[in-house]
Amino acid sequence: MTEPLRIALAGLGTVGAGVVALLDANAELITRRAGRTIQVVAVSARDRFKDRGVDLSRFAWEDDTRLLAEREDVDVVVELVGGSDGPALALARAAFGRGKGLVTANKAMLAHHGLELAAAAEQAGAALKFEAAVAGGVPVIKGLREGAAANELRQVYGILNGTCNFILSKMETESRGFDDVLHEAQAAGFAEADPSFDIDGVDAGHKLAILASLAFGTAPTFAAVEMTGIRHLLAADIAEAAALGYRVRLLGLAESGVSGLFQRVHPYLVPLSHPLAHVTGPTNAVVAEGDFVGRLLFQGAGAGAGPTASAVVADLIDIARGVTGPPLAMPSDMLARADRADAGDRRGRAYLRFTVEDRVGVLAEIAAAMRDAGVSIESLIQRGSHAEGGVLVAIVTHEGPERCVAQALERLRGSQSLVGQPMWMHILD
């Protein structure tokens, strides 16, 4: 195994440039650990002449990304183009068509086309590896696929989007509103100009679909992920949660049960006794609960050039070492097509917040809707005014089926007493 592993790099944004920088900086170490050198042969990106802070003149250049997969001198293609379809998917298909391995950070592509790509890789006898697609530099794909492989997993959940966790941490420690913190995050480069993929939970949903597939032996089914983001969260919600002993975190949670596969991205109240309550800033953390191993936690930087490049190169080192095996932990034809479990059947406690008109009878209307839907109230706080304005009613329910909470909210829909949408958060118990 003294032949170098020859790679082609598609996409030279932050992460692509980071991969080149990492392979340069730690070349000797990587060679020792991988048993052979990992050598960039060719690259492709949108703009050939942009300064990316790394010397690209050493590498062959392809204007057409897909041609990287055609090159005879390339063993593995690294796809860092992004996007669920388009050039990334075309490149992936082309790579397997030529029997070449693929390393990718593309969570959207895997969430949508994971099964097809895993099957194509298996058929080609080629590697498909994607550690960088979930939780940046944290080796959680490896942790589930290999580390926890002996376990029947009951649940996998975690903080999967660093931008949201950064915003939530800031709102919490500085008692600031969502829009305010989002703008700061955008200015600082922690959030995109169009932040909707992050703040509406779509990015976390992509990652969750991948984790669920590995954890439960099911095909990735992004279409079945229920997603609610943090856009409508108030500083007052975070303050109420804190008063109750919780911190608000956007969690992706997947669970496999008799009624099927449940996948949801949603804001949760996390008790201070849980490690996820102490994950702050743009950090990611994933918990997996196994029947023998108990609770495993993996935590680290969820994004950024360095951490993501670290995961990409870890995959390359695995390939260089000759480590292969089915991409989705078992052969793709063994993956189940799980039914989508009905969220209504889930039991738990809920936090409900209403912003209401300050007039007689409003509280009675809300309480009646809860009663009529069979929702039992554990605590209720009404506050005359809060930073964002308006009268706030915050309810914590006793444990019960989510169906009842949904019915109560349905009964209140269109009520003249309510200002804006109610906020519903689940409580992680």
Residue ranges at the known binding site for NADPH: 107
End-to-end CA gap in the chain: 50
Interatomic CA distance for residues 225 and 218, integer angstroms: 13
Residues 278-337 that bind a copy of itself (CB under 8 A): 278-279, 285, 290-301, 304, 306-307, 309-311, 313-314, 316-318, 321-326, 329-331, 334
φ, ψ at 213 (rounded to 5°) = -60, -45
Is 139 a binding residue for a copy of itself by CB under 8 A? The answer is: yes
Question: What tokens does 380 get?
Answer: 């209720």
Q: Compare residues 293 and 364 and give the one whose CB is closer to a copy of itself.
A: 293
- E-state strands within 272-409: 283-290, 294-301, 347-348, 350-356, 377-383, 391-397, 400-401
Task: Name which of 225, 120, 238, 216 is nearest 169 in CA terms.
Answer: 238
Q: Is 243 in the site for a copy of itself (CB under 8 A)?
A: no
Q: Cite the annotated binding site for L-homoserine by residue number.
A: 192
Q: For a copy of itself, what does the binding mask look like between residues 61 and 100, x meaning CB under 8 A?
A: ----------------------------------------
207 is catalytic: yes
Q: Are 116 and 84 in contact (CB under 8 A)?
A: no
- Answer yes or no whether residue 39 interacts with a copy of itself by CB under 8 A: no
Quick one: which H or E segment has residue 78? strand 76-79
- Give the binding-site size for a copy of itself (rule: CB under 8 A): 61
Q: Does 275 bind a copy of itself (CB under 8 A)?
A: yes
22 contributes a contact to a copy of itself by CB under 8 A:
yes
Are the beta carbons of 340 and 261 closer than 8 angstroms? yes
Residue nearer to a copy of itself on the CB measure, 152 or 372: 152
Whole-angstrom distance, CA of residue 209 vs CA of residue 193: 25
390 binds a copy of itself (CB under 8 A): no
**Strands 128-129 and 153-159, sheet pairing:** unpaired
Residue 151 interacts with a copy of itself (CB under 8 A): yes or no: yes
Q: Per the residue annotation, which of 129, 142, 170, 207 is the catalytic one?
A: 207
Which one of 56-64, 135-143, 191-199, 200-208 is the stretch in contact with a copy of itself (CB under 8 A)?
Answer: 135-143
Strands 5-10 and 283-290: unpaired
Hey, which residues are catalytic here? Answer: 207
Interface residue list for a copy of itself (CB under 8 A): 18, 22, 25-26, 29-30, 32-35, 131, 137-139, 142-143, 146-152, 217, 275, 278-279, 285, 290-301, 304, 306-307, 309-311, 313-314, 316-318, 321-326, 329-331, 334
